[in-house]
């Protein structure tokens, strides 16, 4: 288990990056033959990406419940993501073809989705408190959120002040 960092932290990463959200939703639990291959293929893809960092893959974290599964992936660029996804020499493309063949016209048993965001340098915010290295803080550099860094990212949300105390008061008052 990763050590919890009790301090207020932020993350930095050099240049821009891409965030790729991907997931599946089990709509019919009894049709295991439809959703289990999707789940297993996703695990194979993530293992492959972790083993081949030259693909631009920086890292990921996953979450889920009894019906919905999500992986948040970080990559150096959208171009790296697209190159990997379209490569017939890697796990994703054959899994995508197999999924489409298995589903046919019936798209009701298992749902899949993804969203991709290209993030420009310095156009993101991160804040961690009482957390082990997580998310962008795990794939980038985790640093103390002190001085200007304490409000750097939140300037994207709170334009009223550069003062960390004002930002913290806004959070306390529920203006998030």
What pLDDT score does 105 carry? Answer: 81
pLDDT band, very low/low/confident/very high, at 149 (cuts 50, 70, 90)? low
Task: Give the CA radius of gyration of the chain.
Answer: 19
What is the arithmetic mean of pLDDT over 132-158? 74
DSSP strands (E only) in the chain:
5-12, 17-26, 57-64, 68-75, 110-119, 128-131, 141-144
pLDDT tens digits, residue range 14-55? 999 999 999 999 999 999 999 999 999 999 999 999 999 999
Considering only residues 116 and 162, tell me which one the structure prediction assigns the higher pLDDT: 116
Tell me the torsion sign for CA atoms 33, 36, 42, 45.
negative
Phi, psi of 129 (to 5 degrees): -145, 125
Residue 41: which of 63, 17, 69, 74 has the closest Cα? 69
Residue 146 pLDDT level (bands cut at 50, 70, 90):
confident
Q: At what angle do helices 92-103 and 78-86 cross, to 10 degrees?
A: 60
The full set of domains in the chain, from first to last, is 5-12+123-172 (no CATH), 17-119 (3.30.70.100)
Q: Which residues contact 124 (CB under 8 A, 6 or more apart)?
A: 136, 153, 156
Q: What's this model's pTM, rounded to 2 decimal places?
A: 0.80
pLDDT tens digits, 48-84: 999 999 999 999 999 999 999 999 999 999 999 999 9
Nearest to 113 by CA among 54, 161, 42, 43: 42
Measured CA to CA, the distance from residue 21 to residue 64 in angstroms comes to 13
Give 43-93 as a 3 state SS string.
HHHHHHHHHCHHHCEEEEEEEECCCEEEEEEEECCHHHHHHHHHCCCCCHH
Q: What is the pLDDT of residues 89-115, one digit of tens each?
A: 999 999 889 888 888 888 899 999 999
Average pLDDT of the chain is 85
């Amino acid at each position: 288990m990763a050590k919890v960092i009790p301090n207020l932290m932020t993350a930095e990463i050099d240049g821009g990056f891409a965030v790729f959200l991907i997931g599946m939703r089990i709509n019919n639990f009894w049709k295991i033959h439809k959703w289990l291959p999707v789940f297993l293929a996703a695990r194979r893809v993530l293992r492959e990406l972790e083993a081949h960092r030259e693909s631009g893959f920086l890292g990921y974290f996953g979450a889920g419940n009894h019906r919905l599964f999500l992986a948040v992936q970080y990559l150096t660029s959208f171009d790296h993501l697209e190159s990997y996804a379209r490569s017939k020499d890697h796990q994703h493309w054959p899994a995508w073809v197999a999924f489409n063949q298995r589903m046919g016209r019936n798209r009701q048993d298992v749902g899949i989705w993804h969203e991709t965001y290209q993030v420009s340098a310095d156009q993101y915010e991160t804040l961690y408190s009482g957390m082990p290295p997580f998310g962008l803080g795990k794939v980038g550099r985790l640093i103390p959120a002190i001085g200007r860094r304490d409000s750097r990212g939140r300037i994207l949300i709170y334009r009223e002040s550069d003062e960390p105390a004002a930002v913290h008061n806004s959070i306390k008052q529920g203006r998030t």
